[in-house]
Structure 1
Amino acid sequence: MAIPTIILVPFVLYFASDIWKRGHHLTVLAGGGAILFLMLWSLTASASRGSTAATMVSLVVFIVFRNAWPRPRTILLRLAMVGIGIVVVGGMIYWTNLFPDTLKTRVERTISPDQGGQSVADERIALDRAGLYAFLSSPLVGTGFDNFRYVGQFYDDAATFHDPHNLWIQFLAQAGLLGAGAFLFIIVRWFVLMIRAQSRVRTKSDRQLLWAFLAAMGGLMAHSMLAPLVLQRHYWLLYGLGIVAALELGRVDESRSAMIAAVPPGR
């Protein structure tokens, strides 16, 4: 549930906000609170540091930009609000027994050299180094998808049987410049489509829904810099749903505009 949490957090907040505006406050407090608690519980139980950091990214992006591009003062205010919330939740995780201590233990082990923290960092660096060497040996097409883990040790003796925990190094190593360039194009194109779509829709609710997609993809992209995710289907599920939402909301907004324009003046 760690990666689904990255994706679902902005959508839970979006639907909670939408239901709150309709006057169902108790439903939001009870239902939304329970869902967020379960998601946070699953995140701490997974002990995934990358998913935790990525969830914070998706949370920040949605809360700060959910109504398009705010003024700098509003951005700072929302960042401060999110920061306070993260500190409070972090304190609950660290000092209470409400959540599993697996994430806490793993973070402590990571940042403490005498508990293996340095060895974890060394492993990540070795994988990235091996990935770059693999790319240099075959810059156009790489080693092939899902092959690096089996040949990484040929490029660096310290490399473990994993893929590089960095999206771009992983793509360069396994798909070369051609694959990395293609992925960059389709991801940038997706973000351009979504940002243009959110600037065109007129209703606040539609805009916030599109920003939920943007926040979720931003969280996934952040997670991909900390974990091997090239072949994960979560990218493409969110990618496809985002395109459908952008096209459908744009079509609905055009229909609304046409209906308004068809109404005679004075009526």
Structure 2
Amino acid sequence: MLVSPSSTLGRIAVVHALVLSSFLSWRFGGMEATTRMISAWLALPAPFISALALRQADAAFRRQLAWILVPLALLTTLVLISAANPHMRMIYAEGEPLGLVGREDYLHYLPSTAWPRHTLEDFLLNAGYVLAGLNVLITRPSRRVQIAALTCVTLNAAALACTGTVFKLLHATEILGRYPSPNTNFFATFVYYNHWGAFAVLGAAAGGALALYHLQQAGQRPWHSTPAPLFVVLTVLILASIPVSGGRASLAAGLIIALGLALRFVPRQLHLSARLRRSAITVAAALLVLTGATLWLARDRIHFWSNKTAGQYQEIQSGGIGDARLAVYRQTWDLFLEKPVYGWGWQSFRYAFRSVQSFDYKMENEQREASVFLDAHNDWLQRLAELGLVGATLSVATLVGLARLALRQHWLLSPSAEIVIGLVGLAALACVDFPFACPAIVVTGWMLLSVAAGIAHQRSERFPA
């Protein structure tokens, strides 16, 4: 059977996104200069794949994609204009750079940014990641290829979860036992445990989506004759690594996806035969045992979380700031109010916040020195301060365009619904941390969202009513 050009392009787009996701996840999540440079070259084919796909697409699909691509193009234009209109300048002493200070000779009524080079480098790199993920939707790969993409994401996350758990139990002080980490709170190949937690949430969403999808396709056939049990096990392994990794915020996000998957799974069992229900109960009992074992393995971290949370609560009661995040959020909001229309510019938070930072902020109870903040520890608030209302509106418009691709009832079917639940968990984590700063999460998140939207769109085309 001949393969159509669009089918070939869809496979290329999926392989491209998977290569980027896998490479970044095994190379410190992409939080390292050499890895980012290599990934920039790997992302270069993304716009060419997009252009070919748009050329092959029919007029109706191009009109639907316009609701997604036009806001992204306008956001890109906003960032490019800001790079030509910097509101800060570098000062030097004896030829050495000292730091950035504000300037008044810029056009206040146009978008601006603090440091154009940093803005362009980071934005264009992230644009390549986003486009690589979106190509999984734009090229319209077959359902079989989309399910294969979810399978690869699940297997990769499970392999990283097992690797990280082993080294964690061995009390490794370096990544994979050989690579020094800039952050002592690392897990698997990720230099920051909450970045791993975000990636694990996406991997669990993909695994849970596949388990329920195969269960949905099986009908009244025995569930153990499908791949569903395998993906249940892989999903549990991924979720079990989150408490072992040690991040409180990650654990909360993991509980969201675990609860969401449970609420999707349990109602389906009520319609099974008695024999199949007994099998499901057996699996549930095994999962409870695994949960208990996970909590036992993570008992040291749980004890640490309890003491840390209690100490922060006592500090708040005595008039202190408790967790410094709360104070950072207040001053990030103040930054937004200073430039509410266009914001301070993409990746300008680290420069703008220094002018308002109170240097007694400490992120840990036992920390002796003040923290220097590169991120607001709230991606949504940081993006609002950096892009303003205009950029935030364009970002929301992109998500609305994705939602418009399919009818609501098709978004509620597997695997789309479970992926959306995982993205909700990721969004919750982004309220207290900075997962969107991790390249592996950006690529994987957009790829999973594209799969969810693509399958829901295909169903809407087949069953429009």
TM-score for the superposition, normalised by structure 2: 0.42
C-alpha change, 1:230 and 1:91, in structure 2 (3 Å) is: same
Relative distance call for 1:248 and 1:172 in structure 2 (3 A) is closer
How far has the Cα of 1:93 moved from its partner?
4.3
Q: Deviations over 1:108-144 (max 9, x none)?
A: 1332117997578431112102211211222223333
Give the residue type in structure 2 aligned to 1:60: L
Aligned partner of 1:57 in structure 2 is 256
Q: Which moved more, 1:16-25 or 1:224-233?
A: 16-25
Matched, 1:239 2:440: no
Closer/same/farther in 2, CA of residues 142 and 29 from structure 1, 3 Å limit:
closer
Q: Distance in 2 between the 1:244 and 1:16 partners?
A: 15
Q: CA deviation at 1:210?
A: 0.9
Q: What amino acid is aligned across from residue 128 of structure 1 in structure 2?
A: Y
Q: Which runs of 5+ in 2 are unaligned?
A: 1-195, 268-284, 362-370
Aligned position for 1:199: 409
Deviation at 1:173, TM superposition (A): 1.8
How far the C-alpha of 1:147 sits from its partner, in A, is 2.8
Q: Report what 2:207 is aligned to.
A: 12
Equivalent in the alignment of 2:421: 215
1:140 matched to 2:341? The reply is yes
In structure 2, how many angstroms separate the alpha carbons of the residues matched to 1:187 and 1:67? 29
Is 1:155 matched with 2:356?
Answer: yes
Higher helix share: 1
**Cα deviation digits, residues 135-169 of structure 1 (max 9, x gap):** 12222233333332344232131453232222332
Q: Residues 229 and 32 from structure 1, CA distance in 2 versus in 1: closer, same or farther, beyond 3 angstroms?
A: closer
Aligned partner (choices 152, 162, 175) of residue 387 of structure 2: 175
Q: Does 1:103 align with 2:301?
A: yes
**Letter aligned with residue 385 of structure 2:** A
C-alpha distance in structure 1 between counterparts of 2:444 and 2:232, whole Å: 26
CA distance in 2, matches of 1:115, 1:132: 23
- The question of whether the paired residues in 2 share the 8 Å contact of 1:7 and 1:216 is answered with yes
For structure 1, the 5+ residue unaligned runs are 69-83, 259-267
Equivalent-residue separation in structure 2 for 1:25 and 1:225 (angstroms): 38
- TM superposition shift of 1:39: 1.5
Q: Quick one: distance in 2 between partners of 1:176 and 1:244?
A: 29
Shift of 1:41: 3.9
Aligned residues of 2:379 and 2:436 also touching (Cα < 8 A): yes
Q: Would the alpha carbon gap of residues 47 and 136 (structure 1) be closer, same or farther in structure 2, given more than 3 Å must change?
A: same
Q: Residue 112 of structure 1: which of 307, 310, 326 is its match?
A: 310
Q: Counterpart amino acid of 1:25?
A: H
Contact 1:198 1:211 (C-alpha < 8 Å) held by counterparts: no
1:12 CA drift (Å): 1.8
Q: Which amino acid aligns with 1:177?
A: L
**Where does residue 124 of structure 1 map in the other structure?**
325
Change (3 A) 1:26 1:102: farther
Query: Which of 217, 220, 224 is equivalent to 1:25?
Result: 224
Q: Deviations over 1:49-85 (max 9, x none)?
A: 11111122223334435799xxxxxxxxxxxxxxx99
How much does 1:223 deviate?
Answer: 0.9
Relative distance call for 1:41 and 1:56 in structure 2 (3 A) is closer
Q: How many residues align?
A: 234
Paired with 1:165 and 1:133, the residues of 2 have a C-alpha distance of 15
Deviation track 1:173-232 (CA, whole Å, cap 9, x = no partner) reads 222222222222223443x337x445148xxxx921110221111111111111123444
Distance in 2 between residues matched to 1:214 and 1:28, nearest whole Å: 21
Residue 261 (structure 1) aligns with: none
Paired position in structure 1 for 2:278: none
Whole-angstrom distance in 2 between the partners of 1:66 and 1:199: 17
Q: Return the alpha-carbon distance in structure 2 between the equivalents of residues 62 and 138 of structure 1.
A: 41
Q: SS of 1:112's equivalent?
A: helix
Q: Which amino acid aligns with 1:187?
A: L
Change in CA separation of 1:149 and 1:106 when aligned onto 2, cut-off 3 Å: farther
Q: Give percent identity, aligned residues only.
A: 20
Instruction: Report the counterpart of residue 458 of structure 2 in structure 1.
Output: 251
Whole-Å Cα distance in 2 between the matches of residues 123 and 3 of structure 1?
A: 21
Counterpart residue type for residue 458 of structure 2: R
Cα distance, 1:90 vs. partner? 6.5
Q: Residues 245, 18 of structure 1: CA spacing in aligned structure 2 closer, same or farther, 3 A cutoff? A: closer
SS in 2 for 1:178: helix
Query: d(CA) in 2 for partners of 1:59 and 1:193?
Result: 27
Structure number with larger C-alpha Rg: 2
